[in-house]
Amino acid sequence: MVIALGGGAFSERFQALLRQSKGCSTVWLNTSLEECLKRIFTSSNRPLAKKGKEFLRNLYLERIEDYKKCDIFLNQKEQESVRSIKDLISLIPSK
């Protein structure tokens, strides 16, 4: 099963719960702050965008520490090579 979460849902506490579950792996789609801001400001459904770039920059820096605890990191180039769930699952090592 693959569950995709937004940045705010992926806390250290949530990761701890996932680690307790057998066979769970976490994947971080590591995207630069600049790309995140670009995506946020080109979408009409981003309530936090109203708080401005400085707020979003601080939020990104705060959350990144939780993201760094993921089992797998995919940089932007690696993300582009994942075309299917099967591709993604093939990157997850057996536990």
| Alpha carbons within 13 A on the beta-carbon side of 48 | 15
Position 1 in a domain:
no
| Per-residue confidence (pLDDT) for residue 56, from 0 to 100 | 95
pTM: 0.74
pLDDT at 95: 55
Residue 2 inside a domain? The answer is no
Q: Which domain holds residue 62?
A: 7-90
Distance CA 26, CA 18 (A): 8
What pLDDT, on the 0 to 100 scale, is given for residue 16?
Answer: 75
41 lies in some domain: yes
Report which DSSP code applies to 1.
-
The total domain count for the chain is 1
CA–CA separation, 12 vs 69, rounded Å?
Answer: 8
Q: What is the pLDDT along the chain (95 residues), one digit of tens a residue?
A: 677 777 777 777 777 777 777 778 888 889 999 999 999 999 888 888 999 999 999 999 998 988 888 888 899 888 888 999 888 888 877 65
**95 in a domain, yes or no?**
no
